[in-house]
Amino acid sequence: MINKLLKTALGRLRIIAFLEGCSYLLLGFTMILKYKYAMPQPNYIVGLAHGILFVLYVGLLLQVSLIHRWNLLKIVGAFLASLIPFGTFWADKALFRPTDR
């Protein structure tokens, strides 16, 4: 399944969207560790990973939107989904599924 997804830009976007969404949720947990328990290291590591995944997400979003000729509304919706917890999971289901099944 993963090998099949890695072969297309849309598949890579779906994988990165999932990982970015997971890192966003994990970042919320590490913020609690940082501010409540004075443990900043997990937040630093997860924050760094989240930042890298976010940049990859935006880059792949631009690539896929050009390949598939998405309209501006779909592009903006996919970008805004990355700013909301659980948003990328919704985007995968609503926006990133291939239409030619």
Q: Name the token pair of 38.
A: 């004075």
pTM: 0.90
CA separation for the pair 55, 39 (Å, rounded): 26
Share of the chain above pLDDT 90, in %: 89
| pLDDT value of position 95 | 93
CA separation for the pair 10, 61 (Å, rounded): 8
Extents of the domains making up the chain? 11-94
Using one digit for the tens of pLDDT, what is the confidence trace for 19-63?
A: 999 999 999 999 999 999 999 999 999 999 999 999 999 999 999
Place of tokens 């970008």: 79
CB atoms within 10 A of CB 33: 15
Question: 3-state SS string over the chain?
Answer: CHHHHHCCHHHHHHHHHHHHHHHHHHHHHHHHHHHHHCCHHHHHHHHHHHHHHHHHHHHHHHHHHHHCCCCHHHHHHHHHHCCCCCHHHHHHHHCCCCCCC
| pLDDT value of position 99 | 64
Whether the per-residue pLDDT at 100 is higher than 60: the answer is no
